[in-house]
A and B are shown apart, each in its own frame.
Chain A
Amino acid sequence: MDTHHLASEPKSVAARQEPDSLSLFFLVFKTGLLTILTLGIYRFWQTTRIRQYLWGSTSANDSALEYTGTGLEKFIGFLIALVILALYLGVFQMLLFYFGLSMFNVSSSATNPTEQARYLVVVYIHILAVLPLLFYASYQKRRYMMSRTRWCGIRFSMEKGAWGYVIRAIGYRLLTVVTLGALAPLATFKLEQYMAERSYYGDARIKQGGSWPRLYSSLTHLFIGIVILLVCLGIFTWGYNGLATALLCVGGVWVAIGVVYYQVKSFAYMTSHKTLGEEVSFKAEPRTGAIIRIYFIAAVGMGVMSLFIIFIISVMTAIFDFGISSVTVGFIGAALSYIFLFLLFQAMKMVMITQPILGHYVQTFSIINPEPLHQIQQRQADDAVGAEGVADALDVAGAF
């Protein structure tokens, strides 16, 4: 390597995420318990506190992120969404059930045109009534989270544009379905571009570079998996069942890995082609192997935990003989252990899956040429009334 090249290499800063797993575990467990005790109301504060914790443990250039959202504003956003959605969703749900009753009519043939029409109505109601809301919710959720995130005292923000996103999301998804997935990279690229180009850090806007056909290489493993499954289908019709079953397993696993590979690679491509303002850019190098290892370790860990719990329960049952002593005692015992297990696995999932994956994405992320960041100015605060209420009401809130 020649020295001239080294000198022109721009400076870069790596991001870090270093949470204390044990305190994160207890935070999730404790807030989960409060959520159950308050019949679910505390869940808004639970999410907020987990975000505060995760943001606080994420840093770049020795400066940590800060999450400024509050549980109360999230709760109010949820109430607003309830007022609007209660009327809408109740009616929708009942109509869906009413038209869905046609599925019980097994006696009539499926070629009956009125039957088919009724079935299509069910499908359309679903697409028309709920899908737009889900896309709307995902945009609003990201916008709210951006507006409540700060770094070096400067806010992130995102412009309004949820309905524009809904229209594009439906269009591109439809295109993906119609082309049997062949245009999936176009959808991924355009939708991420729409969100990214409405995003700011302070007064600096994010620009999305790159081009969508470049995402096709991310589909490699998904493609191989599908080819294996198609070959398997061919062999199956020829009657070699044993071989077909083996291929089915290989193909299935390959497709699952292919999906993760696509997520990881498309994220890396999209992020590495973003720029902030004129000069700051980013590099993301997440690895599929690392993500799969996290899933694998979590599966083994939770599996061992489950076996251990089954062992404990059978020992306890043998000693105390709940079943015979009293039905009520048995019922209360079962309910309490169900709650305990629910909380345990919720916290384990956070510590073994959600945070490690997020952490891997953060650790492999770096800012290239961070120097101009110092000149970035604060942008007007964004009230983001309604927070992510729709996402909370539709339960698409996700893990944190």
Chain B
Amino acid sequence: MLQAQFFDGVTAYRHEVCISVLDDQQALVIHAESLADPVRWELADLRALRDSSSTKQLTLTRYVSSVDERDPARLIVTDNDFIAWLRATQPDLFRRDVRKRTWLRMAGWGTGAVVAIALMLFVILPGMANILAQAIPIEREVAFGKAVTQQIEWVLSSSNAGMQRCDSPEGVAALDTMLERLTAGRDMHYAIDIQVFGHSEVNAFAAPGGQVVILSALLEEAESPEEVAGVLAHEIGHVERRDPMRQALRAAGAAGLLSMVFGDLAGAAVVGEHLLTASYSREAEVEADRFALEMLATAEVDAAGFANFFTRIEGLEDGDIATPEHLSTHPDSSWRGTQAQQLAESQGGTTAILTPAEWAALQAICD
């Protein structure tokens, strides 16, 4: 006979009870004068509460298969020997009984959640981004693009102390010549605004509103002005197709969703967003390449430069708007090279895009 406290789950009255284990070790009987009849609990059905802060007592309840939750009655035992005996002999004491229906519900809603998020990320948000990117007034997009370019400049200068805007008059003139040659006779939506930043990374970006940024290492790495023209045409392709704006809109929508999924685990949300951006941009890259090749062909610029540049510099990353370096996937460099090569072979008369003097000035734009 052990002393214990018992709440019958019907009233809040505390019964001071005596408990005894039956001789066949199958059940436990709870007696008290305040209880109408002794209560019998099978030992195999006993469950104890987990993560309890008290080590001196154990709260017991009973597994009931017929109802959703456990028996609302509670038995509080404080006898150390009895607690130790229960722990030793009852393997199911701390078992959590999850009903099959609960698992099914989880599977159902889990599938629903995955479908809803996938639908959102891959159908609804991209669709909306397309519509809104078309609807946005151009002045507003330009203002936003300038803010983005400034942001890029700030990020770059934090990783490279000597970062500067490069604008030697001869170099700028050479860039203008190149741009004019590429866009001559074309109906352009945007006034392209090219800037060169002194930075050791071989890279180029297109930001919303016709802003294009070229990093100086790309100019130094290029062997001919046609190679630079190829990259520039590719970025203009992004600009004209409004890719940067679309990507920014998509990212804004996805950011809310992903932070909802991962809670306050900021790291996971950021990685998820980068992977997403990479998958979005694959299609955009192919289209920008197509646009670039067509532009080079119309302007009668040798496409061999374009082919060379991408095959030569494996792993060149062109981050568009805030595309992460190692996750962004370009169309396979060899595919891109082959396409450009085919065009180059079919091209008739081409003329140099810059004179040697202009090319030298462009390469020295940062000096």
Q: Is A289 positioned at the interface, with any CB of B under 8 Å from its CB?
A: no
Interface size class of chain B, counting residues whose CB lies under 8 Å from the partner chain: 35 or more
B8 smallest CB distance to A (angstroms): 7
Q: Is B278 positioned at the interface, with any CB of A under 8 Å from its CB?
A: no
Q: Is A167 positioned at the interface, with any CB of B under 8 Å from its CB?
A: no
> Which of B7, B102, B146, B147 has most A Cβ within 10 Å?
B7
Q: Is A93 positioned at the interface, with any CB of B under 8 Å from its CB?
A: yes
Which 4 pairs from chain A and chain B are nearest by CB? A153-B7, A93-B256, A97-B252, A57-B53
Q: Which of B51, B112, B256 contacts A56 (CB 8 A)?
A: B51
B361 smallest CB distance to A (angstroms): 33
Q: Is A233 positioned at the interface, with any CB of B under 8 Å from its CB?
A: no
Instruction: Give Cα distance in the complex from A39 to B267, angstroms.
Output: 9
Known contacts A97-B253, A98-B136, A153-B12; decide if A56 and B113 are in contact (CB<8 Å): no
Known contacts A39-B268, A91-B253, A155-B72; decide if A56 and B260 are in contact (CB<8 Å): no
Q: Is B85 positioned at the interface, with any CB of A under 8 Å from its CB?
A: no
* Mask of B219-230 contacts with A, CB within 8 angstroms, 1/0: 000000000000
B interface residue numbers (CB < 8 A to A): 5, 7-14, 49-54, 59, 68-69, 72-74, 96, 98, 102, 105-106, 109-110, 112-113, 116-117, 119-121, 124-125, 128-129, 132, 136, 139-141, 143-144, 146-147, 248-250, 252-257, 259-265, 268
B270 smallest CB distance to A (angstroms): 12
B350 smallest CB distance to A (angstroms): 41
By a CB distance below 8 angstroms, the chain A residues around B112 are 79, 83
B161 smallest CB distance to A (angstroms): 16
Interface of A, secondary structure class, is helix
By a CB distance below 8 angstroms, the chain A residues around B268 are 39-40
B256 smallest CB distance to A (angstroms): 3
Please, could you name 18 A-B residue pairs with CB atoms under 8 Å apart, sorted by A?
A18-B53, A35-B265, A39-B268, A49-B51, A53-B52, A76-B106, A83-B109, A83-B113, A89-B256, A90-B125, A94-B250, A104-B143, A105-B139, A153-B9, A381-B69, A383-B68, A395-B259, A395-B264
Instruction: Give Cα distance in the complex from A202 to B11, angstroms.
Output: 8
Instruction: Give Cα distance in the complex from A23 to B132, angstroms.
Output: 53
- Which residues of A from 39 to 55 have beta carbons under 8 Å from B? 39-40, 43, 49, 52-54
By a CB distance below 8 angstroms, the chain B residues around A377 are 10-11
Q: Which of B54, B125, B260, B262 contacts A57 (CB 8 A)?
A: B54
Given A97-B248, A153-B9, A376-B12; 20 other pairs, CB 8 A cutoff = A35-B265, A40-B268, A53-B53, A73-B102, A79-B109, A82-B117, A83-B112, A87-B124, A92-B256, A98-B252, A104-B143, A104-B144, A152-B14, A153-B7, A153-B12, A153-B74, A154-B11, A202-B11, A374-B11, A378-B11
By a CB distance below 8 angstroms, the chain B residues around A82 are 113, 116-117, 260-261
Q: Is A8 positioned at the interface, with any CB of B under 8 Å from its CB?
A: no
Q: Which of B13, B53, B256, B261 contacts A23 (CB 8 A)?
A: B53
By a CB distance below 8 angstroms, the chain B residues around A105 are 139-140, 143
Q: Is A305 positioned at the interface, with any CB of B under 8 Å from its CB?
A: no
Contact between A154 and B12, CB atoms less than 8 A apart: yes
Q: Is A175 positioned at the interface, with any CB of B under 8 Å from its CB?
A: no
Q: Is A241 positioned at the interface, with any CB of B under 8 Å from its CB?
A: no
Known contacts A76-B109, A97-B249, A102-B140; decide if A52 and B49 are in contact (CB<8 Å): yes
Contact between A76 and B102, CB atoms less than 8 A apart: yes
Q: Is A326 positioned at the interface, with any CB of B under 8 Å from its CB?
A: no
By a CB distance below 8 angstroms, the chain A residues around B116 are 82-83, 86-87
Instruction: Give Cα distance in the complex from A394 to B260, angstroms.
Output: 6
Q: Is A375 positioned at the interface, with any CB of B under 8 Å from its CB?
A: yes
By a CB distance below 8 angstroms, the chain B residues around A49 are 50-51
Instruction: Give Cα distance in the complex from A376 to B110, angstroms.
Output: 40
By a CB distance below 8 angstroms, the chain A residues around B106 are 72, 75-76, 79
Instruction: Give Cα distance in the complex from A56 to B147, angstroms.
Output: 53
- Which residues of A from 85 to 111 have beta carbons under 8 Å from B? 85-87, 89-94, 96-98, 101-102, 104-107
By a CB distance below 8 angstroms, the chain B residues around A151 are 12
> Which of A101, A155, A375, A394 has most B Cβ within 10 Å?
A101
By a CB distance below 8 angstroms, the chain B residues around A90 are 120-121, 124-125, 253-254, 256-257
A95 smallest CB distance to B (angstroms): 8
* Mask of A368-392 contacts with B, CB within 8 angstroms, 1/0: 0000011111100101000000001
Which of A60-68, A176-184, A313-321 forms part of the interface with chain B? A60-68
Instruction: Give Cα distance in the complex from A83 to B50, angstroms.
Output: 31
By a CB distance below 8 angstroms, the chain B residues around A66 are 49, 59, 74
Contact between B51 and A52, CB atoms less than 8 A apart: yes
By a CB distance below 8 angstroms, the chain B residues around A92 are 256
By a CB distance below 8 angstroms, the chain B residues around A96 are 252
By a CB distance below 8 angstroms, the chain B residues around A72 are 98, 102, 106
Instruction: Give Cα distance in the complex from A380 to B319, angstroms.
Output: 60
Contact between B102 and A87, CB atoms less than 8 A apart: no
By a CB distance below 8 angstroms, the chain B residues around A23 are 53
Which chain B residue has the least Cβ–Cβ distance from A35? B265
Contact between A40 and B11, CB atoms less than 8 A apart: no
A51 smallest CB distance to B (angstroms): 9
B220 smallest CB distance to A (angstroms): 23
Q: Is A20 positioned at the interface, with any CB of B under 8 Å from its CB?
A: yes
- Which residues of A from 67 to 81 have beta carbons under 8 Å from B? 68, 70, 72-73, 75-76, 79-80
B143 smallest CB distance to A (angstroms): 4
Instruction: Give Cα distance in the complex from A97 to B51, angstroms.
Output: 44
Instruction: Give Cα distance in the complex from A392 to B264, angstroms.
Output: 10
Q: Is A19 positioned at the interface, with any CB of B under 8 Å from its CB?
A: yes
Contact between A101 and B144, CB atoms less than 8 A apart: yes
Instruction: Give Cα distance in the complex from A20 to B53, angstroms.
Output: 7
- Which residues of A from 108 to 124 have beta carbons under 8 Å from B? none
By a CB distance below 8 angstroms, the chain A residues around B253 are 90-91, 93-94, 97
Known contacts A40-B268, A79-B113; decide if A93 and B11 are in contact (CB<8 Å): no
By a CB distance below 8 angstroms, the chain A residues around B249 are 94, 97-98
Instruction: Give Cα distance in the complex from A55 to B133, angstroms.
Output: 52
Q: Is A36 positioned at the interface, with any CB of B under 8 Å from its CB?
A: yes
By a CB distance below 8 angstroms, the chain A residues around B265 are 35-36, 39-40
Contact between A43 and B252, CB atoms less than 8 A apart: no
Contact between A101 and B109, CB atoms less than 8 A apart: no
A96 smallest CB distance to B (angstroms): 8
Contact between B254 and A101, CB atoms less than 8 A apart: no
Known contacts A36-B265, A374-B12; decide if A86 and B113 are in contact (CB<8 Å): yes
> Which of A23, A40, A202 has most B Cβ within 10 Å?
A40
By a CB distance below 8 angstroms, the chain A residues around B96 are 70
By a CB distance below 8 angstroms, the chain B residues around A101 are 136, 140-141, 143-144
